[in-house]
Amino acid sequence: MAVNPAKVILRQGKTALFICDVQEKFAKAIFQFDKIIQNSTKLISALKIMNVPMLVSEQNPKSLGKTIPQLDISGAKGPFAKMQFSMCTPEINKELAIFCNGEKPESIVLMGVETHVCVENTAVDLRQYGYEVHTVADCCSSRTQEDRLLALERMRDIGCHITTSENVIFKLMRDANSEQFKTILSLIKTPTPYTGLVPLSKI
């Protein structure tokens, strides 16, 4: 099925970033966690430069800990504690309604853990609410690669755009003449580490 090109566009001022449950207790359990954090750090840093609003959730923080300190979530809304798997709690939905300069965003860039649990449940709810969802595959993971990959397939099936950190950055920046380009260029000079999303035989 052909995708409407207009729906794949990410626009500054109309896009928000959701950071889902990247917490301390997950660090030793999540597949390729260090690589996911490396990619996430790059994404968050670039989106901060472009003034993309960010919202952070934490699943049962009393048990799973706080968001890991490697991620700079200063200036983000939250962290919002939750027990349900989806980030779309009443509190967060209320915030989202005025998240982009008093208006709802068009698109949500979604990253975090676990891909097949909280990330996927969030994506399902956001799609039901009518948002374009861009799931950042190289900034999402689960305890197993199998759960991660199957969750990304299911999210694609419900209309999410499965993307990468650099793809999001360049879609938002749009132009090498952008005043933000030189600053962001230093972040993207280091290649994104391979995380097994595409078999090496296809690269």
Please give the backbone phi and psi of residue 82, each rounded to the nearest 5 degrees, phi first. Answer: -150, 160
Asked if 56 contacts 76 with a C-beta cutoff of 8 angstroms, the reply is yes
The two three-digit tokens of residue 176, written as one number: 């090498």
List the catalytic residue out of 42, 82, 138, 139.
82
Catalytic site includes residue 21: yes
Catalytic site includes residue 82: yes
Cβ neighbour number for residue 197 with a 10 Å cutoff: 15
Catalytic site includes residue 118: yes
The two three-digit tokens of residue 132, written as one number: 């374009």
The two three-digit tokens of residue 166, written as one number: 């650099």
List the catalytic residue out of 88, 118, 139, 140.
118
List the catalytic residue out of 21, 42, 138, 139.
21
For 136, the enclosing helix (H) or strand (E) is strand 132-141
Residues marked as catalytic: 21, 82, 118
